[in-house]
A and B are shown apart, each in its own frame.
Chain A
Amino acid sequence: MEKVLVADYQKCTGCRTCEMACSLAHVRECNPAKSAVQIVKWEAEGLDVPIICQQCAEPACAGICPVRAINRDAATGALTIDYDTCIGCRMCLIACPFGALAYDVDRRRPIKCDLCNGDPKCVQFCEPRALTYSLPTEVEYARKRLAGRRLAEVTARSTSLP
């Protein structure tokens, strides 16, 4: 089974180290604007949300690409851009419902998460573990456990009421 990259915004501290790690891994420079993961922030509410490609089952980016440059990697399941084919038209940026692609103004091409060939650098540098890379079953199970625990707590509180 392919692993999935999941972003838990409740754990994100907004340090944006992931952006730096991503740009270093892909263009060998520190530049958050050239990162496939980007944190959007609402400081007033203390809200930090990592936006990253969901590697959709029915990807709008691949569907709209006029030259079929976005294809699924057989090993990781990541949708990757073949830059030799890409014409830099930016239609994928518009099509993505999450705004999860960025645009490299210097190289005139889109930037998209490729899961770093199965070893995502952003996950490696995410100290609060807001970004994780694991099997979908693990993610699902962890969420179920969490929800179950909360349910148990709420029930315990309400039954202890006089």
Chain B
Amino acid sequence: MYAQGGYTGQLLRVNLTRRETRIEALDPRLAEMYLGGRGLGARLLYDEVGPEVDPLSPENKLFFLTGPLVGTLAPSSGRYCVTTKSPQTGMYLFSICSGHLAAELKMAGFDGLIVEGKADQPIYLLVTNEGVRFADASHLWGMHTFQTEDALRRELAGRGDAKVACIGPAGERLCRSACVLSERRAAGRGGPGAVMGSKNLKAIAVIGRQDVTVHDLPDFLRNVSEAWRRIDDTPFLRQGLSRYGSAISAGLVSETGILPTRNWQTGVFEGVQGLLPRTFREQVVLKDVACPSCPIACSKICRGADSSISEGPEYETLYAFGSACGNGDIERVVQADMLCDQWGIDTISAGVTIAFVMECVQRGLLDSKQLDGLSVEFGRADVFPELIRKMALREGIGDVLADGVELARQRLGIGDDSFAMHAKGMELGGYDPRGVKGQALVFAAGPRGGCHHANGYVITAEIASGKWDRFAVAGKGGLVKQARDTRMIFDSALYCAFAGIAGGLEVAALLLSPAIGRQLDVASLERLGERCSNVERAYNVRQGLRRKEDALPGRLLREPMPEGPSQGQVVDLDALLDDFYAACGWDVATGVPTKERLESLDLPDIAADLASLDLTSLGANGTAQTQGIEEV
């Protein structure tokens, strides 16, 4: 049906309540306006999941989406996007995972899979070119993610090499930071695993055999070679990521004094030696592995404490279970990484929540009697395994901590919210914005909460490019906006943002144009990226988000960085938000996209929707942070 390549032209819609499936055509106009993956997901969610929907109810939906580059030879293109309403933030959520499932879904004939309703008992879905099977999953329920995936692949071996996305016990128990796992990697943030769990959907297995096509193959192959060459010419990728993985950031972040330490009390960690890239490489890395079609191979198989073996940790996990918890023992970080993956819980959320409890203990607000007798103190990395297990199983103190740091704070009765390190309910990634001001906007105004990259990744520009004063406020709004719209293209074409460093949107246009048979350039991609970003923002505005929800923990605004290369710095969030909203064409008083900007991005229908909202008060459902999500 699609004359051009890049798409299969079909979406598969599965209703778990009625056990019905339907194959729908992908509207070519949607593909043109939103590309695929994250951008397409934002629009589908906007159209199909309204403000009244409880994220853990059958009315919420899960969109598993590929993009036009997925399943091709384009570098680092083996990724899929899970879009849903987040049970952690009560807002828009996308979460991206790499793995062979992405290409397999296209080979099964679909650009995306939409899951609706709720099964009456645990099931898994088997998607093949012949159709969908609703299969009993009672024998898989309770298994951790590695076991689930292995069991399913064995069970389905007669039909081919099944590619799997599944949840662990944390997702089954609706932990609000539960992830979806594929091949030891995770769609980690915001709790998509809990949404799967709420639908009694343990796993999705895909076996496909259809060819993946591109529009102009000779042209495409030429441009793929160019993209590869650019990657080879980028020292940060070749000498940095290929060898050390994302752990390479630990060195840079530490030297800049923005490595969040002991729950963000400081940006300098005296025990950082154990977490630095060289230590990491020499002490724990066993082997380099790559995501599909990726020449970089930044993923590392590591050996940790108690004979644990994990793919990872990534830098964010080094921060969350390392410096944030006052832990310099890399082997304990590897172990925590593996356990989080197995139980199916997000490493950043789990680590930051534990770090918060550690500070409560340090301040004398909690004692070990309230913590099931565990010594949850800074540096006590030996408590990680037991705490992670308790969180995933909602056992004892684990039940209090299982839904992330903000709900934990409320349940523990800690009145001071200035040191619960999250934005909109999602725990912050590992860069202290006091020493790198653009990052404050990434956290505070990000479309899915306190994620470190969803609103654009600006760390490298600010601390390593030599072009920016990292303490300055001026210009950071424009920097973040541009990074945001660029990131959106990588996440929608669906290839890795690390590969995207080599050539940016110029290379994205080179890869996409011959793949889909439509001439794209940097300007048209920037516009497309901005359009998708505005749909995300509009979704959250409809949900009740306004300027005051674009907030950060008080610690970052009021406590000057006590020491190190960023000493004395705080975040002037108001000035930053003014700058950012102005750059975005959003109303500075409310943070809502203006009618003019939305119409200029071909979104008149969304402009009309927002015009009908009362912009001075909250919307129907509010956000998790402002109104609190109902207890499970």
Contact = CB atoms under 8 A, between A and B. Distances in A.
Contacts of B160: 33
B297 A128 contact: yes
Interface residues of A, number: 27
B293 A24 contact: no
Interface string A103-122: 00110000000000000000
B291 A15 contact: yes
A109 to B, nearest CB: 14
Interface string B190-212: 00000000000000000001111
B295 A127 contact: yes
B475 to A, nearest CB: 37
A30 B212 contact: yes
Interface in B66-93: 71-73
A20 B209 CA distance: 13
Contacts of A23: 211
A8 interface: no
A30 B291 contact: no
Contacts of B100: 16
Contacts of B473: none
Interface stretch (B39-47, B213-221, B395-403): B213-221
B293 A20 contact: yes
Interface stretch (B282-290, B464-472, B506-514, B524-532): B282-290
B286 A46 contact: yes
A125 B301 CA distance: 23
B485 interface: no
Contacts of B217: 24, 28
B547 interface: no
Interface string B280-316: 0000001111111111110001000000010100000
B107 A33 contact: yes
A21 B107 CA distance: 16
Secondary structure call for the B interface: loop
Interface string A16-39: 110011011001111111100000
B211 A27 contact: yes
A128 B184 CA distance: 21
* Residue from B209, B210, B289, B291 with most neighbouring chain A CB atoms (10 Å): B289
B334 to A, nearest CB: 13
Interface in B87-132: 100, 103, 107
Contacts of B210: 31
Contacts of A31: 107, 209-212
A46 B301 contact: yes
A43 B73 contact: no
A144 B295 CA distance: 28
A16 B292 contact: yes
Interface residues of B, number: 35
A30 B72 contact: yes
A45 interface: yes
Contacts of B184: 43-44
Nearest to B76: A15
Contacts of A33: 107, 160, 209
B235 to A, nearest CB: 16
Contacts of A106: 211
A30 B73 CA distance: 7
A14 interface: yes
Contacts of A28: 217
Given A30-B73, A44-B309, A46-B286, A15 B292 contact: yes
A24 B103 CA distance: 15
Interface in A28-69: 28-34, 43-46, 48
A132 interface: no
Contact of A127 (B73, B183, B286, B297): B297
B14 to A, nearest CB: 24
A27 B149 CA distance: 31
B524 to A, nearest CB: 25
Given A31-B107, A43-B183, A43-B311, A13 B71 contact: no
A10 to B, nearest CB: 8
Contacts of B211: 23, 27, 29-31, 34, 106
Nearest to A44: B146
A43 B214 CA distance: 30
Given A27-B211, A46-B286, A46-B311, 10 more contacts: A13-B294, A21-B73, A28-B217, A31-B107, A31-B209, A31-B211, A43-B146, A43-B184, A44-B309, A46-B287
9 contacts: A15-B293, A15-B294, A17-B292, A29-B212, A30-B71, A46-B286, A48-B289, A125-B73, A128-B290
Q: Which 3 A-B pairs have the closest CB atoms?
A: A46-B301, A15-B290, A29-B211
Interface of B: 71-73, 100, 103, 107, 146, 149-150, 160, 183-184, 209-214, 217, 221, 286-297, 301, 309, 311
